[in-house]
């Protein structure tokens, strides 16, 4: 049952076996799995319940409605724009549907070197399979690769770089390309069309527009959560209290630590809000002689993983290259240049293509958590990451030229144009400085990290808090390192595993 | 480029703490912004009725917008109206910071270019030089404000349907294709009704 909370006119108290906070890739999965196992579940989401034609395919309408802090969340120095969905279904509603499992050696490293037994590929495989089946992950067809993705494929194949057509969680896609604004036609296998309705069918109560402010505990055990309804049409503010023996915190790698801190939960390892990885992205734009119409079709239909280096004794390093593009408002705000040169570039919109660099970062940022208000996100790219990033810009430019680009535009404020393959010195000359280039992050992670040792980690390898019985974390906060790839299926698989752990050890909790 | 990036367009949440973290430039701008005048007496009336922007702010944001995006002066009116409509829906904190940003841009001529005239009194050529100074500044805080201004202008202009044709963008598909949702979404149950029923039972 999904509730319309707009008419709430009194404080509300609910009682359930499990309270899940957040309805994105982690929370919706945990809620559905637990409800289907027979437990009563309350799933609380601070964003609205939107679907179908609520997604009007207009940037100016959907960005403020669908993105956290109206889309304005950024690191403290504004170098990285941190973009997260805020709606029933979380960031999966605005995702590009890429389903990429973490590299097998990375899971091996987590398992063998970070003490996370059970997270190795062989053990995780059934969870990934289960998730991929439920969200309809399948390899997109070659004819579904859009113009921009085809350019990435063409250029990288010409240069001999390894790449592939990835799995996507979409069904009968109409190729309209408005994925980042929510799918009007429900063709995504996002949480909104899969796990959230499954949870509801299994009896879960879904509470949108309600912000959880505190997790409650008593003598080292979780007892529930308290929140406030945010969109009351009655003009009054009312509280929600959920009494539950298990709480699953899945509000994302920025909000979950915030709730943790606001709740004054223990932080024995001094790790809450630390170890932040952002997997920052930058975008290199190319001008092709013919129209590419990059905004149409499936936005990310090809992945180049040639430059992701994985070793068994480290978390690896490098970056993925994926296609990226935007509708006009986003394009105009991101494209470099000033005045006439900017307008001229916008006039070439149909001939532009773009490649995003997704950095497997080693930089560790942190959240400055306060009692009230959103946390400040501190993150400044470290030296080795900066070097890799500059290398990646040159590689993306190279691939673009190999695909036939006439010019390449670097992601700085000023118009920095490369007109000749190999002439990449401007990249080294400019380097990286505050807010120039602007980085994007869709995958914050690591801020409530998982580990066996309670002196170093916040949650154990099953996702349960070391210091609070019955409190679980099921979002990207638990990753011990950057996961190197788009995070959604990893979050879903880990949430499935956490739910199974709760079910398998029910006598401890219920 | 990526769609979601644009949210930068609304990225006006220049909180005190964040500005300070952009370094000395942030401190300078913050101190400067606090003492700037906010009156509108010297600004021309605006044709349309404004819901958020003052005449002064309208002048600053539209003059800066057309210079940054390379638009004709005739685009100012619709650009300003569009931005006004966007800002009116922002949270109060963001609104006050937007006002601060526009004030700093208007009067920063004195601080950064040592010009006795405010931004809206400069010639277009002088405005270009001044705004490019923000874009290329060595002070991170000035680049941040330039980006916010550019993003706001982009949102104000390129969200307008009238701008689509000039860049070859075909716009939303709603109404252009015969397609319906694949899923029968659940109709939410009114919470007040649920609670009333519970109380009754």
Please indicate whether residue B121 or residue B20 has the higher confidence score (pLDDT).
B121
* Residue length of chain A: 510
What's the pLDDT score for residue B13? Answer: 43
With H, G, I as helix, E, B as strand and everything else as coil, classify residue A46. coil
Q: What are phi and psi of A376, to 5 degrees?
A: -85, 135
Reply yes or no: is the peptide bond before residue A388 cis, omega within 30 of 0: no
Q: Considering chain A, what percentage of its residues have pLDDT values greater than 90?
A: 88
- Is the pLDDT score of A131 beyond 60? yes
Asked if A98 contacts A168 with a C-beta cutoff of 8 angstroms, the reply is yes
Binned at pLDDT 50, 70 and 90, residue B3 comes out as very low
With H, G, I as helix, E, B as strand and everything else as coil, classify residue A184. coil
Q: Which residue of A has its CA nearest to B173?
A: A176
Asked if A409 contacts A401 with a C-beta cutoff of 8 angstroms, the reply is no
What's the pLDDT score for residue B5? Answer: 42
Chain A hits for B69, CB-CB cut-off 8 Å, are 332, 339, 342-343, 346
Mean pLDDT check: name the lowest of A250-259, A290-299, B23-32, B113-122: B23-32
Q: Which residue of B has its CA nearest to A49?
A: B188
Binned at pLDDT 50, 70 and 90, residue B193 comes out as confident
Torsion, Cα A338 A323 A134 A194, to 10 degrees, reads: 20
Chain A hits for B63, CB-CB cut-off 8 Å, are none
Q: How far, in Å, CA of A85 to CA of A83, rounded?
A: 7
Which residue among A3, A176, A330 places its CB closest to the CB of B188? A3
With H, G, I as helix, E, B as strand and everything else as coil, classify residue A339. helix
What's the pLDDT score for residue A191? Answer: 98
A398-441 confidence digits (pLDDT tens)? 999 999 999 999 999 999 999 999 999 999 999 988 778 889 99
What's the pLDDT score for residue B178? Answer: 84
A31-89 confidence digits (pLDDT tens)? 999 999 999 999 999 999 999 989 999 999 998 899 887 666 788 888 888 988 999 99
Contacts of B103 by beta carbon, 8 Å cutoff, 6+ apart: B33, B36, B37, B38, B60
B97-121 confidence digits (pLDDT tens)? 889 999 999 998 888 877 789 999 9
Binned at pLDDT 50, 70 and 90, residue B181 comes out as confident
Q: Considering chain B, what percentage of its residues have pLDDT values greater than 70?
A: 80
What's the pLDDT score for residue A252? Answer: 96
What's the pLDDT score for residue B195? Answer: 82
Chain A hits for B17, CB-CB cut-off 8 Å, are 76, 376
Q: How far, in Å, CA of A363 to CA of A148, rounded?
A: 30
**Beta-bridge partner residues of A287:** A352, A407
Binned at pLDDT 50, 70 and 90, residue B30 comes out as low
What's the pLDDT score for residue B21? Answer: 47
How far does the CA of residue A216 sit from the closest CA of chain B (Å)? 23
Q: What mean pLDDT value characterizes chain A?
A: 95
Integer CA distances (angstroms), B9 to A277, A292, A396, B57, in order: 24, 25, 26, 17
pTM of this prediction?
Answer: 0.93
Q: How far, in Å, CA of B6 to CA of A329, rounded?
A: 7
CB contact under 8 A, B69 and A343: yes
How far does the CA of residue A262 sit from the closest CA of chain B (Å)? 19
Answer positive or negative: Cα dihedral of B134, B140, B145, B149: positive
Mean pLDDT check: name the lowest of A269-273, A279-283, A289-293, B48-52: B48-52
Which residue among A1, A57, A434 places its CB closest to the CB of B22? A434
Asked if A463 contacts A452 with a C-beta cutoff of 8 angstroms, the reply is no
The answer to whether residue A69 neighbours chain B at the CB level (below 8 Å) is yes
Contacts of A451 by beta carbon, 8 Å cutoff, 6+ apart: A114, A115, A116, A457, A458, A459, A460, A461, A480
**Residue A280 DSSP class:** -
* Residue length of chain B: 201
CB contact under 8 A, A330 and B2: yes
Q: Which residue of B has its CA nearest to A190?
A: B183
Q: Per the structure block, which two tokens stand in for B62? A: 């539209």
Contacts of A204 by beta carbon, 8 Å cutoff, 6+ apart: A1, A31, A32, A35, A40, A41, A42, A43
- Which bin fits A16, alpha (ψ -120 to 50), beta or left (φ > 0)? beta
Q: Per the structure block, which two tokens stand in for A135? A: 């969200």
Q: Considering chain A, what percentage of its residues have pLDDT values greater than 70?
A: 99
A355-398 confidence digits (pLDDT tens)? 999 999 999 999 998 777 778 999 999 889 999 999 999 999 99
Binned at pLDDT 50, 70 and 90, residue A234 comes out as low
Which residue among A72, A172, A186 places its CB closest to the CB of B7? A72
- Is the pLDDT score of B11 beyond 70? no
CB contact under 8 A, A2 and B188: yes
Chain A hits for B191, CB-CB cut-off 8 Å, are 3-5, 7-8, 12, 207
CB contact under 8 A, B144 and A78: yes
Chain A hits for B16, CB-CB cut-off 8 Å, are none
Which residue among A56, A200, A330 places its CB closest to the CB of B5? A330
């Amino acid at each position: 049952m999904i509730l319309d909370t707009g008419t709430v006119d009194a404080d509300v108290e609910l009682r359930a076996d499990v309270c899940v906070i957040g309805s994105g890739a982690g929370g919706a999965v945990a809620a559905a799995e637990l409800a289907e196992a027979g437990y009563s579940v309350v799933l609380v989401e601070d964003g609205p319940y939107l679907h179908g034609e609520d997604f009007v395919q207009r940037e100016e309408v959907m960005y403020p409605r669908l993105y956290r802090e109206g889309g304005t969340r950024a690191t403290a120095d504004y170098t990285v724009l941190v973009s997260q969905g805020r709606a029933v279904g979380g960031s999966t509603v605005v995702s590009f549907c890429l389903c990429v499992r973490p590299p097998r050696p990375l899971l091996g490293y987590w398992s063998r070197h970070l003490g996370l037994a059970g997270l190795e590929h062989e053990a995780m495989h059934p969870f990934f399979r289960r998730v991929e089946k439920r969200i309809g992950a399948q390899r997109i067809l070659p004819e579904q690769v859009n113009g921009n993705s085809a350019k990435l494929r063409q250029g990288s194949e010409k240069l001999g770089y390894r790449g592939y057509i990835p799995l996507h969680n979409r069904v009968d896609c109409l190729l309209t390309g408005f994925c980042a604004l929510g799918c009007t036609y429900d063709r995504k296998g996002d949480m909104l069309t899969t796990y959230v309705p499954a949870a509801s069918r299994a009896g879960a109560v879904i509470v949108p527009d309600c912000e959880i402010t505190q997790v409650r505990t008593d003598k080292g055990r979780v007892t529930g959560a308290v929140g406030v309804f945010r969109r009351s049409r009655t003009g009054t503010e009312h509280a929600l209290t959920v009494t539950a023996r298990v709480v699953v915190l899945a509000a994302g790698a920025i909000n979950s630590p915030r709730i943790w801190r606001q709740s004054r939960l223990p932080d024995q390892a001094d790790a809450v809000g630390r170890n932040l990885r952002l997997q920052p992205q930058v975008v290199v734009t190319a001008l092709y002689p013919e129209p590419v119409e990059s905004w149409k079709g499936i936005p990310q239909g090809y992945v180049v993983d040639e430059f992701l280096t994985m070793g068994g004794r480290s978390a690896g390093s490098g970056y993925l290259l994926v296609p990226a593009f935007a509708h006009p408002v986003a394009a105009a705000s991101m494209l470099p240049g000033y005045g006439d040169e900017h307008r001229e570039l916008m006039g070439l919109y149909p001939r532009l293509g773009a490649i995003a660099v997704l950095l497997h970062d080693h930089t560790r940022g942190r959240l400055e958590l306060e009692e009230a208000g959103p946390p400040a996100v501190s993150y400044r790219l470290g030296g080795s990451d900066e070097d890799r990033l500059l290398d990646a810009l040159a590689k993306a430019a190279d691939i673009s030229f190999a695909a036939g680009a006439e010019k390449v535009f670097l992601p700085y404020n000023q118009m920095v144009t490369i007109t000749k393959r190999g002439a990449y010195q401007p990249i080294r000359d400019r380097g990286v400085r505050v807010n120039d280039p602007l980085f994007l992050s869709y995958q914050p992670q690591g801020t409530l990290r998982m580990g066996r040792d309670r002196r170093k980690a916040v949650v154990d390898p099953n996702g349960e808090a070391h210091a609070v019985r019955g409190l679980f974390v099921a979002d990207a906060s638990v990753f011990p390192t950057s996961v190197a790839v788009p995070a959604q299926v990893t979050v879903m698989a880990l949430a499935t595993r956490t739910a199974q752990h709760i079910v398998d050890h029910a006598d401890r909790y219920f | 480029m990526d769609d979601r990036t644009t949210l930068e367009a609304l990225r006006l949440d220049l909180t005190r703490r964040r500005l300070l973290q952009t370094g000395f430039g942030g401190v300078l701008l913050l101190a400067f912004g606090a003492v700037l005048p906010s009156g509108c007496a010297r600004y021309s009336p605006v044709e349309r009725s404004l819901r958020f922007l003052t005449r002064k702010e309208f002048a600053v944001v539209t003059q800066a917008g057309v210079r940054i995006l390379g638009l004709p002066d005739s685009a100012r009116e619709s650009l300003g109206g569009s931005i006004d409509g966007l800002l009116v829906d922002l949270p109060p904190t963001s609104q006050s910071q937007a006002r601060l940003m526009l004030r700093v841009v208007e009067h920063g001529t004195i601080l950064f270019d040592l010009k006795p005239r405010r931004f809206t009194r400069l010639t277009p050529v002088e405005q270009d030089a001044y705004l490019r100074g923000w874009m290329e500044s060595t002070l991170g805080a000035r680049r941040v404000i330039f980006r916010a201004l550019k993003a706001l202008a982009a949102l104000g202009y390129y969200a307008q349907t009238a701008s689509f044709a000039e860049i070859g963008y075909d716009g939303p598909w709603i109404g252009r294709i015969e397609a319906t949702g694949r899923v029968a979404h659940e109709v939410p149950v009114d919470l007040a009704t649920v609670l009333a029923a519970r109380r009754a039972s």
